[in-house]
Amino acid sequence: MMTTGRINYKLEGREDAPVLVISNSLGTTLEMWQPQMPALLEHFRVLRYDTRGHGSSWVTPAPYSFAQLGGDVIALMDELGIQQAYFCGLSMGGMTGLWLGLHHPQRFLKLALCNTGAKIGVLQTWNTRIDQVTREGMEAIVPMVIDRWFTKSFQEKEPENVKFVSDMLASTDRIGYSGCCAALRDLDVREEIAGISLPVMVIAGTHDQSTPPQDGKLIAERVPGARYVELDAAHLSNWEQTDLFNRHVIEFFKG
């Protein structure tokens, strides 16, 4: 584990392999990608990091913006001498990918945008979430969020994995979480994404309440040439459908 520019990261894999940057969801750390790592490391040099306000990365005063969150990715790549990479992000990480595809397309080869949207949620919902976390702390939202992240059947079958993710969520800094909520609240690139020229794959979850399939379909319809994949999962499809998720991501980047 290393930190550069106050962003905590891990860079793993063969030095001669192409670089893949992977970006976490709101309320998780780089460990959310644990189910993907064995498969991804067979093909890529993987750079994963804790988004600002999360994990061991710096917690700056809220609110945040995607100019900051995406800028952190570019600064990290610059620091590590990475000129170009593939990018895979889920939820907040997917929105980071959209921002990067619009503002720094020359730094990326392909984008996998998973369980995300060009606009996520509505103003009042985000403001209510920020207020609740500020007043009551992260523990207050864990049960509700977990029910949105995982289907009931997965929660029943995989209690240890659900607890692992729940603990990540509960330990997130409330200021960092609120700052990223504000970034998610304020970004709306539904009109701009038609200008993304990079190859894009969108992964959605059939049972995803946070970013329903129609959010993913909108991206796939508006980004020229984008492909769309829907998995039998809720929001964290990389956990619920690990093998299928890994296969689609690897085939897309290697194809």
Q: What is the DSSP letter of 105?
A: G
Written as six digits, the tokens of 118 are 């060009």
Which residues, in sequence order, are bridge partners of residue 111? 87, 200
Q: Where are the domains of the chain?
A: 2-254
Length of the chain: 255
What is the CATH topology of the domain spanning 2-254? Rossmann fold (3.40.50)
CA pair distance 41, 17, nearest whole angstrom: 9
CA pair distance 206, 213, nearest whole angstrom: 6
Helices (H), the chain: 37-40, 66-79, 92-103, 123-136, 142-149, 152-157, 159-170, 174-186, 213-222, 237-240, 242-254
Residue reference for tokens 């644990």: 34
Residue type (1 letter), 224: P
Q: What is the DSSP letter of 60?
A: P
CA pair distance 255, 251, nearest whole angstrom: 6
Collapsing DSSP to helix, strand or coil, 14 comes out as coil
Which residues, in sequence order, are bridge partners of residue 8? 3
* Strand bridging mode 19-23 / 2-4: unpaired
The burial class, CB within 10 Å (0-12 / 13-18 / 19+), for 144 is exposed
> Which pLDDT belongs to residue 2?
47
**pLDDT in 10s for each residue of the chain, 255 residues:** 444 459 999 999 999 999 999 999 999 999 999 999 999 999 999 999 999 999 999 999 999 999 999 999 999 999 999 999 999 999 999 999 999 999 999 999 999 999 999 999 999 999 999 999 999 999 999 999 999 999 999 999 999 999 999 999 999 999 999 999 999 999 999 999 999 999 999 999 999 999 999 999 999 999 999 999 999 999 999 999 999 999 999 999 999
Identify whether the C-beta of residue 236 lies closer than 8 Å to the C-beta of residue 150.
Answer: yes
CA pair distance 74, 242, nearest whole angstrom: 28
